[in-house]
Chains A and B, each alone.
Chain A
Amino acid sequence: MQQILRLEQATAEPVPRTEFTEHSGSLARPADQAQRGLALTIRDLRKSFGEHNVLRGIDLHIPAGQFFAIVGRSGCGKSTLLRLIAGLERAEAGTIAFDGQILANDIRVMFQEPRLLPWAKVLSNVEVGLGRERSSADAQARADKALVEVGLDSKRDQWPAALSGGQKQRVALARALVSQPRVLALDEPLGALDALTRISMQNLLERVWSDQGFTAILVTHDVSEAVALADRVLIIEDGRIARDFDVALKRPRERGSADLAALEGTILRELLATDNE
Chain B
Amino acid sequence: MSIIESFSRIRTARVGLPSADGLIPWFVPLAIVLLWQLASVTGFVPTRVLPAPSDVVAVGWKLLLSGELLRNMWVSFWRAGIGFLIGGGIGFAFGLANGLSQLSAKLTDTTLQMVRNIPHLSLIPLVILWFGIDESAKLFLVALGVFFPIYLNTLHGIRTVDPQLIEMGRVYGMTDSELFRRVIFPGALPSIFVGLRFALGITWLTLIVAETIAASSGLGYMAMQAREFLQIDIVVLSILIYALLGKLADSFARLLERLTLSWHPAFRKS
Contact = CB atoms under 8 A, between A and B. Distances in A.
B264 A118 contact: yes
Contacts of B186: 117, 119
A161 B167 contact: no
A86 to B, nearest CB: 7
B168 interface: yes
Given A111-B164, A113-B164, A118 B263 contact: yes
Contacts of A16: 170-171, 173
Interface string A156-186: 0001110000000000000100000000000
Give the most central of B171, B174, B182, B265: most A CB within 10 Å.
B171
Contacts of B27: none
Contact of B171 (A88, A119, A120, A132): A88
Give the most central of A104, A119, A120, A128: most B CB within 10 Å.
A119
B7 interface: no
A117 B171 contact: no
B26 interface: no
Question: In terms of DSSP, what is the predominant structure of the interface of chain A?
Answer: loop
A129 B173 CA distance: 9
Interface string B163-200: 01101111111100000001100110100000000000
Interface string B226-269: 00000000000000000000000000000000000111110000
Nearest to A87: B171
A9 to B, nearest CB: 19
A109 B263 contact: no
Nearest to B168: A115
Nearest to A86: B171
Nearest to B262: A159
Contacts of A87: 171
Interface string A114-138: 0101111000000011011000000
A66 interface: no
Interface residues of A, number: 26
Nearest to B165: A115
B22 to A, nearest CB: 25
Interface in A7-31: 14, 16-17, 21
A111 B164 CA distance: 9
A118 B267 CA distance: 13
Contacts of A132: 173
Contacts of A161: 263-265
A215 interface: no
Contacts of B263: 118-120, 159-161
Closest 5 CB pairs of A and B: A131-B173, A119-B186, A115-B168, A119-B263, A16-B170
Interface of B: 164-165, 167-174, 182-183, 186-187, 189, 261-265
Given A86-B171, A104-B173, A129-B172, 20 more contacts: A14-B167, A16-B173, A17-B171, A21-B173, A87-B171, A105-B173, A111-B164, A111-B168, A115-B164, A117-B182, A117-B186, A118-B264, A119-B187, A119-B261, A120-B182, A128-B169, A128-B172, A128-B182, A131-B173, A161-B263
22 contacts: A14-B167, A16-B171, A17-B171, A87-B171, A88-B167, A108-B171, A109-B171, A111-B168, A115-B168, A117-B182, A117-B183, A117-B186, A119-B189, A119-B263, A120-B263, A128-B169, A128-B172, A129-B172, A131-B172, A132-B173, A161-B263, A161-B264
